Structure 1
């Protein structure tokens, strides 16, 4: 017996998934394993490099997995002895999405995919281990005994859940033939239709599949004559899947069954009518729509048209995620990151047109963009803050940034982000000014609310930097939270503003619908249901000095921890916000609009009750606001 192979086998069997294999199976694998000595800082593979024919296990040392973001190398994971990485060739066809580099002198085992793949499809424990880690993108760094799979870019922390449930486009008009057809005729039909597969059916149900590979491996080599019936060379039984199959689910099934195609049927069984066929090529195409790829496309975009195409793909992603019942917080995460990336790129394109900025600055999203709650395309909300400059340079500097903001806003409008009807945009000279001027603005708003010509708007207290200097954003946040300390007048104003909105339900617990105008009879879910929760979460977040959390759902979750006495109210509001957002998003996707007005006549009785129940926590929130801020009357 090969002593080296035996030593490697003894090492691997201490770690999953290799511990699920027999000693003979391990020896079979280890005789084909390559041993790679990596000196410190040596690269094993890098982002955009073509996939290797092996995956890797750390034998000793440490290997870092990194990726580039905005020119910086970001550490995603550290791989220690027993950790598996570089699995991308199992699941994808495109290049590596990150770099593997040794942190110190290391030894790595290279395990050929072709040698290991049969054990994946034959051993359910091995498969389950890979699938679980593949889907969840987790590694237990504390559990060195069991080993772990380290993600190499199939998913990222912020995109895993979405791509795992991402819907898949496939051929919905596959070639369907009977098992009595002659192979030569089927090959001609496939060639005429420019397709690489055909489904064999009997009584409208799939009984097999034939692909280009079958013709090459069974007829081209002389095993069967050209005039054989197709039943002789077809693969049977066919692997069937439901119409709602996701990208990741399809990938995993192709791996599990070691096949290149999946047959789609109405209910996912082989006793159901065929409704499509999925190929490996379909998977590769679908991957171009995953969030990680979208971010990469955004960074490379050179004009509004390219950015608009990405935003349209994001809408499709939101739609499929809602249909799959993906938790709303996960969808917030994805859409928020991609929207911010689009806005950032729009500003960068504008800078490329205008030339370098004459001073340091910070472009800040406000309102729903800052809260990362824009699942649907809505309007732009932003401010621009530039550093303090000498008085004689102020006018020229401000002129540049107004031009920059106008150009960026025009680009965003072309992408689909409408201009703010209240002109709360950086392109408005009122909202484009120096840091000192902004500090004065916030001081005036918060110390003497309602007395300034620029009436205070609560959306200016949701801030998220898109591009620019972190220190400028930090200065804005500092003035906000410093002023919020013991500011009775400010919270009196903001609290009354929150309570002033029309109630969602009438005295008789009926929906408070629009009484006139274009939307007569419809329920304004934004203004009467969602915004009171948004305003309430913001109010308490400012009061309790909750920094760095803008999203309404997350604010309520954090508030429940900070204020245990009222945790039930906050948690109920958090769940209500998700339900209401779901209703609005569905309405918007259905009608290709902002989803602001719900047509109650189109809701089922169950959905109406669900909607009404989501409005119930608002009353408790109102009472808590009145009690907390001593608001006995409001105007």
Structure 2
């Protein structure tokens, strides 16, 4: 390739990561070996199960669609524009391509030979981190029902592996676990575990795992005399067993341990409990693999006896979030881990309040609402919650409510000392409006949904984003049942929600410039929360409720699931999912940099590339707005 062409390509690439991390002379070394590929509209560059190429690709012009096969249909996973990197599988995996790359329009892509670029990956951690993030994003299949919400992990084979890639590495674990039959006597199982110097055994039935027995089971169920040592292990085992596939990553394993509150995972051939056992993962394996283990924070939370101790854990969580962002760990994983830890903090705060006040007079549920309920709270923002206690006899109602108001006030006071400010709108369980019986809450939701707008000051859409943090799960289920029952043939309610979702000021003005604040302490800054992120949050909630999407509160996950259940508009939903992550990352970086809530961005401090990235992330909002107008009758509240 001539020097002038190589120079022109280098000048193009230096505007985009990861090439902007390279020196000019290094870029020239790369560009002199680049191949230029012209693709006509609908031309396939590679497709599912093709053998891996010896290059990866960068879009020079046009658009490349990346698609996967789901339910016998080809479904769009991602769109790549000028400067976007794709086709990274040859870097990190040895098996064939798992997606198809096809030109959406006449396009030009640069083919960068892997053997030429690999030395710069080994020498530059920033380049490695970017490629890992891109690979993890492009290999995640949101339409895989078995793995939805997880990272689809591939074995990583790069040179000079470092701690930065531990979230993408396959996890080292015991691949020769002790396997015993369900009718094995406890004393025999203990003897086998002692002889093998291990603390656990997998219980099999018909060669499939049905449970796990550990040293803890022996201490808590045998040593105290609850069961004789002659009993069979199936009487004391932990079941059902939580199973994972062989290529599970540190990130996936950690999340499952947190979610199911278990200490061991069973590795099977296909990740289900109906296949051959291949190993066992313990908490110790994760601690060895991941020095900064979120599980450690969970344990510290459970041991905490004061708000001060909980605050120290929250400060460690901030450090973990900052480190994870710096390592380019995908935001959905950071949301998941952070959400579990924050929920544990809230739960412990309620427990400390109960220890102070005494046992509750009835069963109840503490629900986080808003960003906490969506598990999207990476920064220290205000707290939002409601408390629902079960129905009691009329003569007991006042005393029961008085107790729960006191409990809520102590809990919110603890959380305030941890660093979560009181909600300025009073959306907290300590407010007597939001602390009441199940019947009263049912009436509240009925009023909101059947006569929206009549008491508009009382309704906030955040009450439809909730997650139980403490208490009786059946109470949360009762609220969910009522909400989805009331959605049927309820055009008036969706009219209200739809108009509420469109009520925010547009992020860009007529001239496609950012709509900045015109006065006040944030004059000249861009309100990324209210003008960019919240319209996506509101839109995701609106469609999730209207399509009866239960149990998924996170905005990113909602859009991904909506793309599956409403495939006609999957491209819009996927665009919104990507936009939400990009905008959320901008906000999080701003908040971490300035120790703030990150709501206001100084556009002038952004690089040209970041300004364009931010502006491009706002584009799907118009598509979402048009879809809302098209799908719902927005008349009465317009």
CA distance in 1, matches of 2:592, 2:407: 32
> Does the C-alpha gap of structure 1 residues 146 and 402 become closer, same or farther in structure 2, counting only changes over 3 Å?
closer
Q: Return the match for 1:362 from 354, 361, 365.
A: 365
Q: Return the match for 2:633 from 624, 630, 634.
A: 630
Match of 2:374 in 1: 371
CA distance in 2, matches of 1:633, 1:394: 38
Cα offsets for 1:89-143 (capped at 9, x unmatched): xxxxxxxx97789xxxxxxxxxxxxxxxxxxxxxxxxxxxxxxx9xxx8753579
Match of 2:502 in 1: 499
Q: Within 5 A, what are the aligned runs for 1:536-555?
A: 536-555=539-558
Q: Within 5 A, what are the aligned runs for 1:279-428?
A: 287=291, 289-428=292-431
> Does the C-alpha gap of structure 1 residues 139 and 322 become closer, same or farther in structure 2, counting only changes over 3 Å?
farther
Q: Within 5 A, what are the aligned runs for 1:69-80?
A: 73=238, 75-77=240-242
CA contact (8 A) 2:213 2:238 kept: yes
> How much does 1:391 deviate?
1.1
Q: Within 5 A, what are the aligned runs for 1:444-455?
A: 444-452=447-455, 454-455=457-458
Match of 1:91 in 2: none
Match of 2:608 in 1: 605
CA distance in 2, matches of 1:314, 1:469: 27
CA distance in 1, matches of 2:177, 2:431: 62
Match of 2:280 in 1: 150
> How much does 1:481 deviate?
1.1
Helix, strand or coil at the partner of 2:283: coil
> Does the C-alpha gap of structure 1 residues 149 and 426 become closer, same or farther in structure 2, counting only changes over 3 Å?
same
CA contact (8 A) 1:63 1:79 kept: no
CA contact (8 A) 2:244 2:272 kept: no
Q: Within 5 A, what are the aligned runs for 1:566-581?
A: 566-581=569-584
> Does the C-alpha gap of structure 1 residues 143 and 487 become closer, same or farther in structure 2, counting only changes over 3 Å?
closer
> How much does 1:52 deviate?
8.3
Q: Return the match for 1:483 from 473, 482, 486.
A: 486
> How much does 1:576 deviate?
0.4
> How much does 1:65 deviate?
3.6
Helix, strand or coil at the partner of 2:470: strand
Helix, strand or coil at the partner of 2:282: coil
> How much does 1:151 deviate?
1.4
Match of 1:443 in 2: 446
TM-score normalised by length of structure 2: 0.61
> Does the C-alpha gap of structure 1 residues 147 and 100 become closer, same or farther in structure 2, counting only changes over 3 Å?
closer
CA contact (8 A) 1:66 1:98 kept: no
CA distance in 2, matches of 1:364, 1:447: 23
CA distance in 2, matches of 1:573, 1:347: 36
> How much does 1:461 deviate?
0.4
Cα offsets for 1:20-43 (capped at 9, x unmatched): xxxxxxxxxxxxx99998834469
Where structure 1 has 5 or more consecutive residues not aligned to the other structure, the ranges are 1-32, 88-96, 102-132, 164-246, 249-285
Q: Return the match for 1:527 from 519, 530, 535.
A: 530
Greater C-alpha Rg? 1
CA contact (8 A) 2:302 2:348 kept: yes
Cα offsets for 1:391-450 (capped at 9, x unmatched): 111110000000000000000000011100101000000000111111111111111111
CA distance in 1, matches of 2:443, 2:316: 41
CA contact (8 A) 1:98 1:152 kept: no
Match of 1:116 in 2: none
CA distance in 1, matches of 2:387, 2:195: 43
CA contact (8 A) 1:500 1:634 kept: no
Match of 2:92 in 1: none
Helix, strand or coil at the partner of 1:383: strand
CA contact (8 A) 1:307 1:415 kept: yes
> Does the C-alpha gap of structure 1 residues 376 and 66 become closer, same or farther in structure 2, counting only changes over 3 Å?
farther
CA contact (8 A) 1:344 1:466 kept: yes
CA contact (8 A) 1:514 1:520 kept: yes
Q: Return the match for 1:592 from 592, 595, 602.
A: 595
CA distance in 2, matches of 1:511, 1:388: 51
> How much does 1:574 deviate?
0.5
CA contact (8 A) 1:66 1:75 kept: no
Match of 1:108 in 2: none
Q: Within 5 A, what are the aligned runs for 1:127-276?
A: 140=270, 148-154=278-284, 248=289
Q: Return the match for 1:560 from 559, 563, 573.
A: 563
> Does the C-alpha gap of structure 1 residues 78 and 42 become closer, same or farther in structure 2, counting only changes over 3 Å?
farther
CA distance in 1, matches of 2:559, 2:186: 44
CA distance in 2, matches of 1:57, 1:362: 36
CA distance in 1, matches of 2:463, 2:518: 31
CA distance in 1, matches of 2:276, 2:240: 23
Cα offsets for 1:284-320 (capped at 9, x unmatched): xx73x41111111111111111111111111111111
CA distance in 2, matches of 1:323, 1:361: 40
CA contact (8 A) 1:626 1:632 kept: no
CA distance in 2, matches of 1:306, 1:352: 16
Q: Return the match for 2:521 from 503, 512, 518.
A: 518
> How much does 1:78 deviate?
6.8
Is 1:471 matched with 2:601? no
Q: What root-mean-square deviation, in Å, do the aligned CA atoms of Structure 1 and Structure 2 show?
A: 3.7
CA distance in 1, matches of 2:203, 2:343: 41
Helix, strand or coil at the partner of 1:503: coil
Cα offsets for 1:327-350 (capped at 9, x unmatched): 111011000111011000000000
Where structure 2 has 5 or more consecutive residues not aligned to the other structure, the ranges are 1-175, 221-236, 251-260
